[in-house]
Chains A and B, each alone.
Chain A
């Protein structure tokens, strides 16, 4: 009987139902909003934000939420989600928190609908039919918006690090310095080698001092990359001096048996530059008749 009824009512326009839903949510705005904010705090979500901030954001999200239910257009919400993500990502808000709060709002609103329509099961069914797809779409939009923003930030940062990370500097005619700082992975090693080779070409370098003081750890893969860089530079007629191997790194390399025999290594950058000057035939002298 109930099934028949709900079948019959399914043919009725859902717009009217949504309208009713929206006015219900508008009427109970204050209550539901508070209930939601309370449950956010209870679930220990958004711990990076203060209570007031959570309440302000909750209000905006709530209004946007109702608006999407009313108009069916998620564009405004998308823009808001992006804007919100931009503000909260730097504060360390995690994806699960954002998804969590949206799902909480969905639950809070659904609970209030249950309460309102509990007397009429068929009507409740229809209301939920209208409400659920819209609510899922909203949750989806917010979560996707947040993740996209996060990915954009990560991409941007990776790009910035890449650009910063490998300067090739000329210190003297035909002498280049390549200070390497940070972890070296395959992609970075490739980029580093390419930049060095271009640098050798452009500056007509004979000697390159590669300083790895800033490389925290060297394993066989990194060592292999370094050897490749040295070999490639040699093919362009430049010899490479590696400096800044710390005692720990030296020990690691010896232990894992990396063959650095064909690499010219010097203790520190200063020694490396001195060795390079010797190779290039420069002589640094101190004038004896200093005033």
Chain B
């Protein structure tokens, strides 16, 4: 199933609605990286609230996604990781340590807003 990508101001929001196959994940990654450029977005939020499993491939793809988006000049936040999913991920050693995380969509937007302010203060 393809993941809908919504544009909200300067940000893109990808809201994952159901379990994704590996192909869906790579498709999501490529689509987001492309659209960040097209819409000149400053931030990307990936909402994984609906996922009850995050395997190593998903984590690797999301890490890659965040790195690629960083190279395209935007920030990525992963939001809505379920407590059980977080616990399982940590047990597997998948800590997503290079990617910003937030509790839910609202927190993610807040994080990006703060980040944008900090960026402007630094003269970006």
Contacts and interface: CB of A to CB of B under 8 A. Distances in A.
B103 A232 contact: no
Q: How large is the interface on B (under 10, 10 to 19, 20 to 34, 35 or more residues)?
A: 20 to 34
Contacts, number: 56
Given A200-B103, A262-B97, A235 B89 contact: yes
Interface string B24-59: 000000000000000000000000000000000000
Interface in A10-40: none
B107 A237 contact: yes
Given A200-B103, A204-B103, A228-B91, A236 B97 contact: no
A235 B81 contact: yes
B79 A237 contact: yes
Nearest to B99: A235
A139 interface: no
B83 interface: yes
A231 B83 contact: no
Contact of A197 (B86, B102, B104, B108): B86
Contact of B83 (A190, A198, A204, A234): A198
A231 B101 contact: no
A228 B90 contact: yes
Interface residues of A, number: 19
B89 A232 contact: yes
A194 interface: yes
Contacts of A193: 87, 90
B78 to A, nearest CB: 8
Given A197-B83, A237-B79, A231 B103 contact: no
Contacts of A200: 83, 103
Nearest to B108: A237
B87 A232 contact: yes
A235 B97 CA distance: 9
Contacts of A228: 90-91
A237 B89 CA distance: 14
B96 interface: yes
A238 B103 contact: yes
B8 interface: no
7 contacts: A190-B87, A197-B83, A197-B84, A229-B90, A234-B101, A236-B101, A238-B103
